[in-house]
């Protein structure tokens, strides 16, 4: 009985997490999809990839984020979407951490910020790290694979 | 490799392919699409106005500022005092007919990756304007530098006065 209850709780927690992170990724992707020029400039200012690659990344990355969010909610390619969500969160957190160490002061290009400012800084790194921990425990660590909407 | 892992990897690949295809297609048809080849913008081929100089221009009104983006982006927000002259405007000659050819002008678009600011500047040069410069860093850097923006719409017809 106890085990069943735990599984029931876990089911709803996982479902809520998918909805939350799905919306999170879609909302974060939208402004970047609409303004790739501005996003390319932000990528260039991070200085982590060659300048020539920034327009390409600015065009494709928001769509990857968008489909990750959409598929998390809808339940299509759900394993792939879960892992992409994790990869993107790790990637963004690392980029923010490196930019913070280097003392960059600029718009983070995050698209969405829950508690912190939408700027490069340790508060945004902390926010992303907390999200990553929640994401890992609810959607990657022994997930029970809830169905889509 | 486990079958489950293979399935997950295959799904991840499909998601990337979908993002790649739709991202590139959308960029191709979108008004805010950007050239993927950065050499298109040729950043050093026109007189360049830096962010610091742009701040002074806005404060002093020393140059006519032209926003080369599509009007809907201009309407949302633009550099204070800028007038909307879309880079592909067919009425460019009419719009600029009363502006003196030696009037100092600066154009801009979103960022260094967008070509619109430079295209407009080239068209103006071809029309005989002698002092045309481009603020290549564009609106995104202006906004990122937390400079004031304006969303009051001033139509380009006013440039003629």
For the stretch B8-58, pLDDT in tens is: 999 999 999 999 999 999 988 886 777 786 554 444 468 889 999 999 999
Distance CA B19, CA A111 (A): 18
When pLDDT is averaged across residues A4-15 and rounded to a whole number, the result is 75
Measured CA to CA in angstroms, residue A82 lies from A30, B20, B107, B153 at distances of 19, 18, 44, 44
Please, which pLDDT band fits residue B161 given cuts at 50, 70 and 90? very low
Please, which pLDDT band fits residue A138 given cuts at 50, 70 and 90? confident
- For residue A143, what pLDDT is reported? 66
Window 87-126 of A: residues touching B by CB (8 A cutoff) are 106-107
A&B contacts, CB < 8 Å: 109
Same domain (yes/no): B22, B43: no
A128 interfacial to chain B (CB closer than 8 Å): no
Same domain (yes/no): B7, B83: no
Range name among A21-25, A71-75, B27-31, B100-104 with the lowest pLDDT average? B27-31
- For residue A139, what pLDDT is reported? 82
Q: Is the pLDDT of residue B105 over 90?
A: yes
- For residue B106, what pLDDT is reported? 95
ipTM: 0.87
When pLDDT is averaged across residues B71-92 and rounded to a whole number, the result is 88
A64 interfacial to chain B (CB closer than 8 Å): yes
Structural tokens at position B10: 């295959």
Q: Where are the domains of chain A?
A: 2-140
Could you say which of B8, B37, B144 has the minimum Cβ distance to residue A79? B8
Same domain (yes/no): B51, B118: yes
Share of chain A above pLDDT 70, in %: 91
Pairing, β B47-48 against β B83-84 = unpaired
Pairwise CB contact (< 8 Å): A59 & B36: yes
Q: Is the pLDDT of residue B156 over 60?
A: no
- For residue B113, what pLDDT is reported? 63
Could you report the per-residue pLDDT of A61-92, keeping only the tens digit for each?
999 999 999 999 998 998 999 999 999 999 99
On chain B, the residues whose CB falls within 8 A of the CB of A42 are 140, 144
Same domain (yes/no): B76, B145: yes
Cα Rg of chain B, angstroms: 20
A121: left (phi over 0), alpha (psi -120 to 50) or beta: left
Pairwise CB contact (< 8 Å): B138 & A33: no
Q: Is the pLDDT of residue A38 over 80?
A: no
Same domain (yes/no): B87, B45: yes
If one compares B111 and B21, the residue with the highest pLDDT of the two is: B21
Same domain (yes/no): B45, B26: no
Same domain (yes/no): B19, B64: no
Same domain (yes/no): B14, B91: no
Measured CA to CA in angstroms, residue A85 lies from A135, A147, B101 at distances of 8, 17, 54
- For residue B159, what pLDDT is reported? 42
Q: Residue B7 is part of which domain span?
A: 1-30
Among all residues of chain B, which has the CA nearest to that of A107?
Answer: B144
Pairwise CB contact (< 8 Å): B140 & A41: yes
Pick from A43-57, A108-122, B3-17, B32-46 the range whose average pLDDT is largest.
Answer: B3-17
């Amino acid at each position: 009985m106890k085990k069943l209850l735990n599984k029931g709780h876990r089911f709803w927690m996982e479902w809520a997490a998918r909805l939350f992170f799905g919306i999170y990724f879609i909302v974060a992707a939208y402004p970047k999809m609409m303004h790739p020029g501005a996003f390319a400039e932000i990528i260039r200012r991070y200085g982590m990839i060659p300048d020539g690659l920034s327009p390409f990344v600015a065009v494709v990355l928001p769509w990857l984020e968008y489909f990750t969010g959409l598929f998390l909610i809808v339940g299509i390619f759900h394993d792939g979407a879960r892992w992409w969500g994790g990869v993107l969160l790790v990637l963004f957190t690392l980029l923010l951490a490196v930019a913070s160490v280097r003392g960059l002061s600029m718009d983070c290009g995050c698209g969405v910020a829950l508690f912190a400012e939408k700027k490069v800084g340790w508060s945004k790194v902390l926010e992303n790290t907390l999200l990553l921990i929640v994401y890992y425990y609810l959607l990657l660590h022994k997930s029970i694979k809830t169905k889509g909407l | 490799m486990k079958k489950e892992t293979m399935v997950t990897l295959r799904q991840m690949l499909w998601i990337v392919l979908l993002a790649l295809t739709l991202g590139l297609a959308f960029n191709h048809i979108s008004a805010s699409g950007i050239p993927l080849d950065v050499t298109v913008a040729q950043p050093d081929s026109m007189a360049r106005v830096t962010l610091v100089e742009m701040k002074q221009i806005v404060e002093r009104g020393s140059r006519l500022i032209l926003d080369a983006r599509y009007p809907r982006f201009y309407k949302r927000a633009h550099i204070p005092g800028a007038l909307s002259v879309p880079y592909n405007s067919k009425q460019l000659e009419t719009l600029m007919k009363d502006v003196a050819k030696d009037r100092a002008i600066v154009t801009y678009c979103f960022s260094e990756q967008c070509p619109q600011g430079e295209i407009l500047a080239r068209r103006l040069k071809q029309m005989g304007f002698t002092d045309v410069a481009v603020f290549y860093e564009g609106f995104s850097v202006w906004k990122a530098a937390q400079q004031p923006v304006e969303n009051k719409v001033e139509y380009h017809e006013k440039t003629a006065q």
